[in-house]
Structure formats: structure tokens, C-alpha cells
């Protein structure tokens, strides 16, 4: 009986934490735009690239994203296809095979993992 209670407590706690993490991630996302603007303002006012607050340093970073021409996209698709073929034929060597838990809500079947 105690073993089953431990299992139930583990499962329940995992679900609680995944739900909290999802809520926190949504809140963080909602703050990002305003935070970027605020950090940029502070950088403009101070002339510093790093904004120090308490024990943390905020900086602005940029990530570039490219759209490639059709011939390169075609090469990427060909590479994906070649990789799948190599996996199927055994030519590709399996580096790792890791297991993980997927949590889905039954009602609506939303993926929480």
C-alpha cells in the first residue's frame, strides 16, 4: 500500500511541476518584449552593454535567421532522406537511445512534456 502511495505521490508531483513550469514559461514569454525594451532603454541611458540587477547581468543578444534559396533547401531535404536511408540500412551507427517520459492530459490530449 505504501509503495503505491509513493508512486501516486511521485506521479502527482510530476504533474503539478509540469503544470507550474508551463504557467511560468507562459508568464516569462509575456514579459520578454517589455523586458527587451526596458533593457535597451537602460543601455541607451547608461551607455553600458550590461545591465546589472542584484546578482544578475542582463544583456541583449541577437540571433539571425535565414531563408535559404531553393537549391539549398533541396540539398537539405536530400540529406535528410540520405540520413533516413542510412539509418534503415544500418549504415548509420546509433550513438544513443535515451528514454524519456511523455505526459499528456487525457481530456483534450494536450502534450505537457
pLDDT tens for the chain, 113 residues: list them: 678 889 999 999 999 999 999 999 999 999 999 999 999 999 999 999 999 999 999 999 999 999 999 999 999 999 999 999 999 999 999 999 999 999 988 876 555 55
User: Which residues, other chains included, contact 68 with Cβ-Cβ below 8 Å and sequence gap of 6+?
Assistant: 76
Residue reference for cell 517520459: 101
Q: Which pLDDT score, from 0 to 100, does residue 27 have?
A: 98
- Indicate the domain borders of the chain: 2-66
CB 50 within 8 A of CB 57: yes
| pLDDT of the residue at 110 | 58
What is the SS3 assignment for 58? strand
Q: What is the pLDDT of residue 108?
A: 61
Amino acid at each position: 500500500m505504501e509503495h503505491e502511495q509513493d508512486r501516486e505521490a511521485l506521479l502527482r508531483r510530476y504533474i503539478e511541476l509540469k503544470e507550474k513550469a508551463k504557467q511560468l514559461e507562459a508568464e516569462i514569454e509575456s514579459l520578454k518584449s517589455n523586458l527587451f525594451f526596458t533593457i535597451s532603454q537602460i543601455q541607451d541611458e547608461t551607455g553600458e552593454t550590461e545591465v546589472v540587477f542584484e546578482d544578475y547581468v542582463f544583456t541583449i543578444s541577437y540571433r539571425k535567421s535565414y531563408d535559404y534559396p531553393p537549391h539549398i533547401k533541396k540539398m537539405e531535404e536530400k540529406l535528410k532522406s540520405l540520413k533516413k536511408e542510412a539509418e534503415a540500412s544500418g549504415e548509420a551507427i546509433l550513438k544513443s537511445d535515451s528514454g524519456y517520459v511523455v505526459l499528456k492530459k487525457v481530456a483534450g490530449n494536450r502534450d505537457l512534456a
